[in-house]
Amino acid sequence: MTKHHARDSYLPLDESNRSIKIIAPTIAFATKHLIHFQLAIIPLTMCRFTNTHLASTTIYRFLPFEDLTKYHIAIGYTTVFFVLVAFVAFVTYYGTLCGKGEQDFCTKLSSEIMITGYGLFLCFAVTGVSSYYRFHIKYRWF
């Protein structure tokens, strides 16, 4: 069962703000798993010893090892984009429901886990911006 269908069957039909409560967590859930996948594969693109060794095998015919740095950069930007989407989905979800008077969502908006999420988003944003301007910033600062 998908996240969307699980939320749809869980919430009663007369629930206030039902569509927001189904769509936003589904988007956040999907982006969370995309981020986890990308964070798992991004180090593989920069394992120089392993990639050099694999380039001397028959795998070289199927994988372009000379372009792994480009893939690393593309995966990094995509990860920052999905972090932005997840952040906007969470803040919109909790902010909208808090603004509509659901006090439980107002307390969650300023909870410890959300403050940790704000900090992580800030770290990803700084990394994304500094990597975009990597030719204008000293490498050691990045």
pLDDT digits (tens, 9 = 90+) for 78-136: 988 998 888 888 888 888 888 888 788 788 888 888 888 889 889 888 888 887 777 67
Looking at the domain assignment, is residue 9 inside a domain? no
Q: Which amino acid is at 118?
A: Y
- The answer to whether 95 touches 109, Cβ cutoff 8 Å, is yes
SS3 114: helix
Is 0.95 surpassed by the pTM of this model?
A: no
How many whole angstroms separate alpha carbon 105 and alpha carbon 97?
Answer: 6
The 10s digit of each residue's pLDDT in 3-43 is 556 666 656 666 666 777 777 778 888 888 999 999 898 88
Number of domains in the chain: 1
Host domain of residue 71 = 27-132
In a domain? residue 141: no
Q: What is the DSSP string of 28-65?
A: HHHHHHHHHHHHHHGGGGG-HHHHHHHHTSGGGGTS-G
